[in-house]
Amino acid sequence: MLYRYLLIVRFALINTVAVGLLAGAYLQGWLDVVISAYLVELSVVIFLVFLYGLVLCAAKVWRHSVELNDINTGTPDPQSRAGRYLSRTGNVSPESRYIQADVLRLKLTDHIVVVRNVANSLVLLGLIGTVIGFIIALSGVDPQAASQVENVAAMISTLINGMSVALNTTLVGALLYVWLIVNYGILTSGTVDLIAAIIDMGEARAAGA
């Protein structure tokens, strides 16, 4: 019966591989630079936004999978989206069913777009971190004090800290965006399958009525 949960299996497989790669990078010490970086709190904020998007995506994948299973068994829950669609299109004209199908597509598409918006915000947050990093780096540069040897070390330290913030937040935002957008692709595929299954069931019942 594994095929009944194919959508969930695909979601779990992708994220298991991603978590495994993340754990491997941590064990190799590749994440130490990010973890110990100056203003690591910015990267933590980006990661928390990513977790919110991933949990949201997981919840929608689960709901889509459950509804697809109900449709495949021919007994959708009357309170589910499939059940409500069938109740609205049971005894209506083909034109009305066409309108209802368009409404269903719009609603289900709008229902998942929030995950894509969260993914896009990861890139935006990474860019904000980049700007903050450059501001920090440039704030330590004082042409008047550069001629004094005792001030050079402090300016270099500030410059390095600022560049660290800029590069780390950009990297974290970009990598987490890729991770979440891959999951969004799975959710999109499941949404398309759900829309097609609901409409097909509605047309089949209308033809047999």
pLDDT tens for residues 8-43? 999 999 999 999 999 999 999 988 888 888 889 999
User: Domain residues of the chain, as ranges?
Assistant: 2-208
Note the residue count of the chain: 209
Which residues lie closer than 8 Å to 107 by C-beta, 6 or more apart? Answer: 81
Burial string for 118-133 (b: 16+ CB within 10 Å, else e) reads: bbebbbebbebbbebb
| Predicted confidence (pLDDT) at residue 190 exceeds the cutoff of 90 | yes
Give 117-148 pLDDT, tens digit per residue. Answer: 999 999 999 999 999 999 988 887 666 655 56
Give the CA distances from residue 149 to residues 43, 64, 93, 159, 193, in Å, rounded to whole numbers and listed in that order. 33, 64, 85, 16, 67
Q: What is the largest CA-CA distance in the chain?
A: 90
Grade residue 156 by pLDDT with cuts at 50, 70 and 90.
Answer: confident
| Predicted confidence (pLDDT) at residue 209 exceeds the cutoff of 90 | no
Q: Percent of the chain beyond pLDDT 70? A: 91
Question: Which of 109, 113, 87, 110 lies closest to 100, judged by CA?
Answer: 87
What pLDDT shows up at residue 76? 83
Instruction: Average the pLDDT over 48-52 and give the result.
Output: 98
Distance CA 67, CA 124 (A): 34
Element of type H or E holding 145:
none
Burial string for 31-56 (b: 16+ CB within 10 Å, else e) reads: eeebeebbbbebbeebbebbeebbeb
Please give the sequence-ordered ranges of beta strands (E in DSSP) within the chain, or none if there are none. none
What pLDDT shows up at residue 46? 97
Q: Which residue has the tokens 């998007």?
A: 53
CB of 159 closer than 8 Å to CB of 136: no
Alpha carbon dihedral 116, 121, 123, 128, in 10-degree steps, equals: 170
| Predicted confidence (pLDDT) at residue 93 exceeds the cutoff of 70 | yes
Grade residue 149 by pLDDT with cuts at 50, 70 and 90.
Answer: low
> Across all residues in the chain, what is the average pLDDT?
88
CB of 11 closer than 8 Å to CB of 179: no
